[in-house]
Amino acid sequence: MFTKKLIEHFNTLETPFYYYDTELLEKTLTAIKKSSPKEYHIHYALKANAHPTLLNYIKEAGFGADCVSGNEVKRAIECGFDNKKIVFAGVGKSDKEINYALDHSIFCFNVESLHELQILNQLSKNKNVTANIALRINPNVDAYTHKYITTGLEENKFGINPYEFDQVLLELKNLEHLNLIGLHFHIGSQIQDMTAFKNLCLRVNEINTWFIQKGITPEHLNVGGGLGVNYIEPDKEAIVDFESYFNIFKEFLEVKPKQEIHFELGRCIIAQCGSLISKVLYIKNGINTNFAILDAGMTELIRPALYQAYHKIENISAKSGSTTNKYDVVGPICESSDCFGKAVVLPETERGDLFAIRSAGAYGEVMSNHYNLRDAVKSIFDKEV
């Protein structure tokens, strides 16, 4: 991935920075379109990465936008996404955010509570409009992933629980400015066990049937996203096996006539397209631990500190055949949790070496922050080199 010419160019740039391979992004988007039936609607989850340059590629591929904040809705509109392909989810939408989305006639609000239904109806009434809604259902399906990125269990804050269904339908009869068009599900992120998606399909079938028996046939079933990527060997699986993923839904999801299926894919589209490029500031050798101290830190990639997430770390300056050593790869932030990896086996490393922290395209730049008054870092694209 990192050619000699590219590394030479990196050495002329101020580090750290995010590097994006848009050629890989285009191949990934093509693979999704090739693997998914035409009746499947794909919405890109902006929370994974909302850089306008990347969004332009995704919009041009014909995908919609899955947004979880008012500013994500705004970014999608500013980047030219079709308003009728924009979905607004999120457990805590503010009045300001809802009003903005109403003003731009987005496709659908994924509503997460009875109280939100009431507020959305009132705000829609104030504008004399009717809002399309899908009920975000908490299906109580285990995603077999990290507890902080699980969203579909009863203990999570997201969605409406099945024991609330009767009350919700009763309330909807009096909410004249809401138009129920679908059901929405999302069970978590970085899911690699396809059994979780099979279990989701079976639960969606049950809930879909319950609503149909109540005289309501949802036009749209949104089954969310959450498909994981290979963080350990990113080059081996640069593009996810989308065909196997979609085949799960083809086989196990019981779609009724005229029902349409929606997906919200984020990480699996963008993660492998991005790397965090950083330079070694210091080598600090100890009796038990050697440290490689980088100029990038948890302010540029917080996932290892937040989730204890693994990212492959490469010394892209090292010559082939170099002797190896073990390093704790850390950043400059005044926190002990500012660590990208412990006892990482790397070629003998010295000041000025370039490191690539892989699979940083998702939840890297978008979760960056200014802690310790750090400057925001730049994004570099392959077509600029």
pLDDT per position as a tens digit, 242-288:
999 999 999 999 999 999 999 999 999 999 999 999 999 999 988 88
Pair (290, 312) in one structural domain: yes
Final residue in a domain of this structure, among 220, 244, 271: 271
- CATH code for the domain in which residue 339 is found: 2.40.37.10
Pair (276, 304) in one structural domain: yes
User: Can you tell me the mean pLDDT for 27-32?
Assistant: 98
Whether the pLDDT of residue 148 is over 60: the answer is no
- CATH code for the domain in which residue 104 is found: 3.20.20.10
Q: Which range has the worst mean pLDDT, 99-108, 228-237, 314-323, 328-337?
A: 314-323
Place of tokens 């990480």: 267
Pair (207, 329) in one structural domain: no
Kind plus residue range of the DSSP H or E element containing 18: strand 17-20
Give the whole-angstrom CA distance, residue 189 versus residue 324.
34
Pair (261, 369) in one structural domain: no
Would you tell me how many other CB atoms lie within 10 Å of the CB of residue 166? 10
pLDDT category of residue 155 using cuts at 50, 70 and 90: low
Q: Which runs of E-coded beta strand occur in 229-334?
A: 260-265, 274-285, 290-294, 313-315, 324-330
Question: Among candidates 373, 291, 273, 374, which has minimal Cα distance to 340?
Answer: 291
Whether the pLDDT of residue 122 is over 80: the answer is yes
Give the whole-angstrom CA distance, residue 176 versus residue 156.
30
pLDDT score at 1: 76
Whether the pLDDT of residue 290 is over 60: the answer is yes
What's the burial of 3, exposed, middle or buried (CB within 10 Å: 0-12/13-18/19+)?
exposed
pLDDT score at 156: 62
Final residue in a domain of this structure, among 271, 293, 311: 271
Final residue in a domain of this structure, among 271, 304, 332: 271
Give the whole-angstrom CA distance, residue 66 versus residue 46.
6
pLDDT score at 149: 42
- HSE-CB of 209 using CA atoms within 13 angstroms: 8
Pair (189, 316) in one structural domain: no
What's the burial of 169, exposed, middle or buried (CB within 10 Å: 0-12/13-18/19+)?
middle
Give the whole-angstrom CA distance, residue 74 versus residue 104.
9
pLDDT score at 268: 98
Whether the pLDDT of residue 294 is over 50: the answer is yes
pLDDT score at 89: 96
pLDDT category of residue 50 using cuts at 50, 70 and 90: very high
pLDDT score at 140: 76
pLDDT score at 146: 46
User: Can you tell me the mean pLDDT for 117-122?
Assistant: 98
- The DSSP symbol for 153 reads S
Give the whole-angstrom CA distance, residue 117 versus residue 69.
17
Both tokens of residue 156? 């999570």
Whether the pLDDT of residue 192 is over 80: the answer is yes
| pTM for the whole structure | 0.94
Both tokens of residue 380? 């570099």
Pair (149, 183) in one structural domain: yes
- Number of structural domains the chain divides into: 2
Pair (46, 168) in one structural domain: yes
Asked if residue 294 lies in contact with residue 350, where contact means CB atoms within 8 angstroms, the answer is: no
Give the whole-angstrom CA distance, residue 245 versus residue 194.
7
pLDDT mean across residues, the chain: 94
pLDDT score at 384: 83
Whether the pLDDT of residue 153 is over 80: the answer is no
**Three-state secondary-structure class, residue 29:** helix
Q: pLDDT tens digit string along 318-377?
A: 987 789 999 999 999 999 999 999 999 999 999 999 999 999 999 999 999 999 999 999
Of all residues in the chain, what percent carry a pLDDT higher than 90? Answer: 88
Whether the pLDDT of residue 194 is over 70: the answer is yes
Both tokens of residue 124? 């829609």
Residue span of the structural domain in which 163 resides: 22-271
Asked if residue 143 lies in contact with residue 152, where contact means CB atoms within 8 angstroms, the answer is: yes
Pair (302, 267) in one structural domain: no
Pair (350, 227) in one structural domain: no
pLDDT score at 139: 84
Pair (264, 279) in one structural domain: no
Pair (262, 294) in one structural domain: no
Q: pLDDT tens digit string along 156-187?
A: 667 899 899 999 999 999 999 999 999 999 98
pLDDT score at 154: 53
Question: Among candidates 184, 189, 200, which has minimal Cα distance to 249?
Answer: 200
Pair (164, 47) in one structural domain: yes
Give the whole-angstrom CA distance, residue 66 versus residue 81.
11
What is the pairing mode between strands 324-330 and 313-315? Answer: unpaired
Whether the pLDDT of residue 206 is over 50: the answer is yes
